[in-house]
């Protein structure tokens, strides 16, 4: 009897443990494709701005069911800043990963290199490949295969508040020297700050780096170029903008503070991209959409340059429902879907044919950004592309908060790159 109790207790205890360890294996349900009709669930991780862009994307994604009634689309919005890590966690452990992810252009080669993405050549995901803008398609290729479908393309420009500019009687600055004088005049006439410089995300630093003729790396000659004199000069430029009070910045919470300051009319300018347009229109200063002006980023001493960015849709290699995922990626990047997005959110399509549609052609923001994108600086599409920002982020913030000099900061970034990119000069 005693033995019986002990054994029962042991079995019961182990049973509880095992049940607890079992966990839930959610995600996609298995799909049957025997009949040729798509079914099952497609989970999509979107990274668009919550409150403005996400509604449009959610509706568009869920409308996929109208074409494929047996497929359920599960829309999940993951904050852009967390998505890269979250996806890597989920993809590596093999549980909880989405079927389709909105992958930023620099993440795509990295995810592909790690083996997380399904190659799309010859699948339903790619349709009319020739219609995609060449620039947009470049980031989807890795080692001769295509791993993603371009969804949107973007670059950056200066957003300005026309009312404040009129009040101060100034014109849009075209160079950094201009930017300083314009900011000083705005401060003098209206008491407002000229520019919000985003200090917690190095992506916003790129246009200053390109403006001095610098770049992070030179992929063709396998050379790290960040610590060239141009990089040092770019660090000096941003530091000077903050020190001279032409710009304000934050080391944390930069996106929210930037949008709030600009939307409430506390600053006259910000550097931003098309992804910020819908959110900006929601601000009280821009109830009249015509108040939002847009111009190319101010030029540095070597000219003018803004980074080319954008987002792709990639399919997780471990997806249990690949066929529906391919079809979903195709649907979301079709000319029709892109036109809807362009019209409602002013995001730039990646298909040439979309630009010919009337609604897209007459959108002011798209009309502005199209030529900017064409001239934008392409980043190297290497697997380490997504890794290049973290070292800059640390040093950029350190330079802005006076913890290091521009020279030491640029050198530290260069050293970190050489450690990251083996055998590069």
Partner 1 sequence: MAVDTPSQSVAKAAGEHVARGRSRGTGTPRRAAKRSLATHWYAWAMIAPVVIVIGVIIGYPLVRGIYLSFTDANERNVARSIGVNEIPATYEFVGLENYTDALTGSQFLGTLGWTVVWTVSCVALTFVLGLALANILNRKIAGRSVYRMMLILPWAVPGFVSVFAWRFLYDERRGLLNQILSGVGLDAVPWLNDPLMAKFAVIAVNVWLGIPFMMVALLGGLQSIPGELYEAAEMDGANAWQRFRNITMPGLRSVSTTVLLLSTIWTFNMFPVIFLLTRGGPGEATQILVTQAYKFSFEISPRDFAQSSTWGVLILVLLMIFAAIYQRVLRKQGEVW
The residues of the shown chain that bind partner 1, judged by CB under 8 A, are 2, 6, 9-10, 13-14, 17, 21, 84-85, 88-89, 91-92, 94, 110, 113-116, 118, 200, 248-253, 257, 260-261, 266, 316-319, 322, 384, 386-387, 390, 394-395, 397-398, 400-404
* Dist. CA 405–CA 384, nearest whole Å: 26
* Minimum CB–partner distance for residue 403 and partner 1 (Å): 5
- Least CB distance from residue 324 to partner 1, whole Å? 14
Nearer to partner 1, 97 or 206 (CB): 97
Spatial strand order in the sheet of 40-46: 71-77, 40-46, 100-104, 309-315, 148-154
**85 vs 129 by CB, closer to partner 1:** 85
CA dihedral 42, 95, 102, 256 (to 10 degrees): 120
Minimum gap (Å) between residue 336 Cβ and partner 1: 30
Cα–Cα distance measured from residue 398 to residue 253, given in angstroms and rounded to the nearest whole number: 16
| Cβ-defined contacts of 30-35 (< 8 Å, 24+) | 30/320, 30/321, 31/320, 31/321, 31/323, 31/324, 33/323
**In the bound complex, what is the minimum distance in angstroms from residue 389's beta carbon to partner 1?**
9
CB of 260 to partner 1, least distance (A): 6
- In the bound complex, what is the minimum distance in angstroms from residue 382's beta carbon to partner 1? 12
Q: Which residues contact 151 (CB under 8 A, 6 or more apart)?
A: 102, 310, 311, 312, 313, 332, 333, 338, 350
Helix, strand, coil percentages for the chain (3-state, nearest 5): 50, 15, 35
Whose structure tokens read 């409308």?
A: 63
Q: Min. distance of Cβ 97 from partner 1 in angstroms?
A: 8
Task: Work out the angle at residue 40's Cα, subtended by the Cα atoms of residues 37 and 46, and round it to the nearest 5 degrees.
Answer: 115
> SS3 of 293, please?
strand
Q: Report yes or no: 258 and 159 within 8 Å, Cβ to Cβ.
A: no
Both ends of the chain: CA-CA distance in Å? 76
For partner 1, the closer CB: 28 or 350: 28
Q: How far is the CB of 320 from partner 1 (least distance, A)?
A: 8
Residue 20 or 290: the one with the smaller Cβ distance to partner 1 is: 20
CB nearer to partner 1: pick between 126 and 400: 400
| Region for 277 from its dihedrals, namely left if φ exceeds 0, alpha if ψ lies in -120 to 50, beta otherwise | alpha
Give the list of residues 6+ apart from residue 116 with CB closer than 8 angstroms, or none: 87, 88, 91, 92, 97, 316, 317, 318
**CA 209, CA 302: separation in Å to the nearest integer?**
10
């Amino acid at each position: 009897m005693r033995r019986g109790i002990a054994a029962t207790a042991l079995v019961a205890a182990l049973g509880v443990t095992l049940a607890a360890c079992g966990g839930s294996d959610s995600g996609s349900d298995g799909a049957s494709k025997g009949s040729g009709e798509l079914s099952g669930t497609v989970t999509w991780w979107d990274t668009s701005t919550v409150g403005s862009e996400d509604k449009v994307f959610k509706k568009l994604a869920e409308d996929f069911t109208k074409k494929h009634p047996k497929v359920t689309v599960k829309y999940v919005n993951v904050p852009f800043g967390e998505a890269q890590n979250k996806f890597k966690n989920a993809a590596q452990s093999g549980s909880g990963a989405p079927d389709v992810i909105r992958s930023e252009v620099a993440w795509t080669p990295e995810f592909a290199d790690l083996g997380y993405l399904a190659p799309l050549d010859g699948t339903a995901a790619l349709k009319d490949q020739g219609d995609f803008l060449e620039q947009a398609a470049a980031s989807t290729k890795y080692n001769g295969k295509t791993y993603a479908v371009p969804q949107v393309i973007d670059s950056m420009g200066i957003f300005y508040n026309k009312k404040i500019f009129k009040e101060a009687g100034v014109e849009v600055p075209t160079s950094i020297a201009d930017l300083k004088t314009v900011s000083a005049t705005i401060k003098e006439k209206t008491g407002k700050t000229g520019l919000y410089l985003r200090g917690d995300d190095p992506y916003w630093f790129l246009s200053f780096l390109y403006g001095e003729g610098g770049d992070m790396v030179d992929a063709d000659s396998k050379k790290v170029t960040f610590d060239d004199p141009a990089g040092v000069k770019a660090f000096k430029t941003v530091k000077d903008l903050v020190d001279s009070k032409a710009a304000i910045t934050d080391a944390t919470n930069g996106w929210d503070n930037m949008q709030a300051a600009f939307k409430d009319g506390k600053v006259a300018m910000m550097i931003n991209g098309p992804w910020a347009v819908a959110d900006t229109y929601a601000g009280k200063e821009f109830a009249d959409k015509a108040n939002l002006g847009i111009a190319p980023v101010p030029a540095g001493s070597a000219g003018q340059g803004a980074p080319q960015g954008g987002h792709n849709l990639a399919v997780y290699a471990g997806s249990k429902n690949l066929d529906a995922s391919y079809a979903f990626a195709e649907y979301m990047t079709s000319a029709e879907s892109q036109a809807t997005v362009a019209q409602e959110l002013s995001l730039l399509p990646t298909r040439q044919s979309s630009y010919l549609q009337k609604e897209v052609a007459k959108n002011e923001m798209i009309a502005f950004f199209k030529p900017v994108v064409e001239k934008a600086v392409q980043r190297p599409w290497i697997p380490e592309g997504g890794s290049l920002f973290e070292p800059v982020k640390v040093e950029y913030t350190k330079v802005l908060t006076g913890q290091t000099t521009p020279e030491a900061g640029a050198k530290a970034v260069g050293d970190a790159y050489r450690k990251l990119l083996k055998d590069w000069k």
